[in-house]
A = this chain, B = another copy of it.
Amino acid sequence: PDLDAGTAALQRERQLTKPAGALGRLEEIAQWMATWQGQHPAEVRRPRVAVFAGNHGVAARGVSAYPAAVTAQMVQNFQNGGAAVNQLCEVADADLRVYELDLDTPTADFTEGPAMGEEDCCQAMAYGMMAVETGVQLLALGEMGIGNSTAAAALCHALFGGEAKDWTGRGTGVDDEGMARKVAAVEAGLAANPQAKDDPFEALRCFGGYELAAIAGAILAARMARVPVLLDGYACTAAAAVLFKADRRALDHCMVAHRSVEPGHDHLLAAIGKEPLLDLGMRLGEGSGAALAINIVKSACACHAGMATFADAGVSTRGV
């Protein structure tokens, strides 16, 4: 973090033509952006949305309302411009990149042992780091992977304890029987991988998947490259939580873009101490909430950089 840039933002904030604090979280965002970009004022001319896609062995257990083939079909949809995230990137004037992680080779079924080998997990993390390139000023992260809300549930359960049902939700919309299969899969996963408990990177390897490991890698690389990060919903935040468990300051350069309807997200937000920017009842994944929040960050930075000071504008300060 660049505390000088953050302090410069705070000092300018106080002089802008508005009552102190009146822009609420927009003020917090402007200071956060300066601190983590290491420049004042911060800029968001080049935001990127990175969506990672992977397949999950556990999907064969009937934990999703959709077949696993949908992961690749949706990647094609992203490439053709037909998904929600494409439209959201257009409104945010953001560069969309989609990263496929060997969709023909799902992770192993974690109810029977680790989803990934150590090397595969590290490779996926390294792959995710590629999303951070010079010039990117804000990175919005998302995922696509049929079955990954089950993987996220197992990951959170291993990281933060509680019970399997606390972390398991309807995902894309499973029925009651599907929910029961999800909870059972999470419980079986924890039982099959007891070493994952209280070891964050081992939990990531055991429950995966590749796209979640890639997200963790992208968050690490963004920190090194001074790129602030917007996290999407449950699966994306679960991947980020691996880093939080390893170091409580590891997500200070990240904001959570939105509160997912997926009930595990609320527990997870409480565990990592983050308050989302948006709460619009969304639960789509594919980076949709993160992409939607880009214009909030742009707005915060535009206000901070573009507003007149009381002195410049000849506006009277407080005191009748």
B318 in contact with A280 (CB, 8 Å): no
> How many copies make up the complex?
2
**Which residue from B18, B26, B69 sits with its C-beta under 8 Å from A280?**
B26
User: Which interface class (under 10, 10 to 19, 20 to 34, 35 or more) fits A?
Assistant: 35 or more
- Name A's B-contacting residues (CB within 8 A): 16-26, 62, 64-67, 69-70, 73-74, 76-77, 80-84, 86-88, 90-92, 172-173, 261, 277-284, 288, 292, 295-296, 298-299, 302-303, 305-308, 312-320
Q: Which of A86, A306, A320 has the most CB of B within 10 A?
A: A320
The 8 Å CB contact of A173, one of B20, B26, B88, is B20
Q: Which residue of B lies closest to A277 (CB)?
A: B280
* Residues in B neighbouring A86, C-beta threshold 8 A: 306-307
Among A17, A64, A90, A299, the one with the most B-chain Cβ atoms within 10 Å of its Cβ is A299
> How close is A65's CB to chain B, nearest CB, in angstroms?
5
A170 to B83, CA, bound (A): 44
* CA–CA, A292 and B26, complex, Å: 10
Candidates B17, B282, B320; contact of A82 at CB < 8 Å: B17
Contact assessment for A23 and B284 in the assembled complex, using a CB-CB cutoff below 8 Å: yes
Evaluate contact between B316 and A73: CB separation under 8 angstroms.
Answer: yes
- Bound form: Cα–Cα A159–B193 in Å: 61
**Which of B70, B92, B296, B318 lies in contact with A316, CB distance below 8 A?**
B70
Cα-based distance from A296 to B257 in the complex (angstroms) = 13
| Residues in chain B near residue A296, CB distance under 8 A | 280, 292
Given A87-B302, A87-B306: A280 and B24 within 8 A (CB)?
yes
Most chain B beta-carbon contacts within 10 A, residue among A21, A302, A303: A303
Q: Given B23, B82, B283, which contacts A288 in the complex, CB threshold below 8 Å? A: B23
Q: Which residues of B contact A21 (CB under 8 A)?
A: 173, 281, 283
Of all chain B residues, which has the CB nearest A82? B308
Give CA–CA (A280, B73) in the complex, Å: 36
**Is B73's CB under 8 angstroms from A319's CB?**
no
